Structure 1
Amino acid sequence: MGPLVVLVGPMGVGKSTVGRLLAERLGVAHRDTDDDLVAGQGRSVAELFGEHGEAGFRALEKEAVRVALAEHDGVLSLGGGAVLEQDTRSLLAGRHVVWLSMAGTEAVRRLADEGTRPLLAGGAAGRWAALARARRPLYEEVAACSVPTDGLTPAEVVAAVLETLPRRSSALPEH
């Protein structure tokens, strides 16, 4: 059957945090493909990016997403760039994908002290905005709906995501 919901969106939007809280609220497991990569490869995302380059990292990510979509039936959070791969976008077709979005100023505030995002090295605000602009059509392509996260707490984002879930589905626990 696959995941109940798949969360996509740019880095720093809160996919992992919201995913964990959403899974808890639904009484299902949460899975994060970035965590799968780190566990499977024994290195951080930044290290994998440095070692394999973006193309090599995206190939590893694509496989992690494929496996997670096949194996996981709870809430799934994807890395911000997972939608770059056409194969991944095809695998997301027909699934309940929620695009968590936010403005660049909020992203820069959230990511300012992190220092672990290889694509943001040197000029985080400009790089984030460029990535978000380039990926926006891809998020729109795969998403059943969008939930803006600006100014919301993770719990408020979870509540908004819950509102997007089809209530008539017997596969979903009551929320």
Structure 2
Amino acid sequence: MRLITLREIVAKCDTDIFGLRDRAMLLLGFAIAARRAELAGLRLRNIRDDDNGLLIDVRVSKTEPRTVPVPYGTRPETCPVRAWKAWAAAAHIVEPDRHAFRRVHHTGAVQPHGLSPQRASDLITAAGLRAGCEELFTGHSVRSGLATEARRKGKDRKAIAAITGHKENSKVLDGYMQIVDQWDEKDNALVGIGL
């Protein structure tokens, strides 16, 4: 999931309780390079305020637990911190042991039950479809998207691995980093070599 695509998807999220949840889940999921189970497993106690943004303790993980510092975004409409705070306030999430992302009844009532990993993935897929994206997004798209976009911006592999939870020289991390633009200097080894 490219950052520009993420922007298009969250722009199509409604301003109602469903849209607030989906926007927060997409942006926070991207920011912490979450797997679907990691998103579904987040509890309120795992999300702490900091002067610079949020500290997210990812405890439900296939690999080692990790803490991801999520700074305020430069664009209010795609800021994961602001999106989380808007969802948490609207959903009245105050109990520390309850799920951060919850089911919402069709009437708009926020349920005490959290999302299953499959439901978190389904919501990401549905958000992409609503935005008219040609590519089918899944629960893993936000994870791959962060790794890819961070690489494109020249971020250090160690910094990317700290967010994704991979070991520094992980071959699996390489699999997450996709070629985004076949004509870009960073994505095409032939561009700029002097041919």
TM-score, length of structure 1 as denominator length: 0.27
* Structure with higher helix content: 1
Instruction: Return the index of the structure with the highest Cα Rg.
Output: 2
Greater relative contact order: 1 or 2 (C-alpha under 8 angstroms, separation 6 or more)? Answer: 1
TM-score, length of structure 2 as denominator length: 0.25
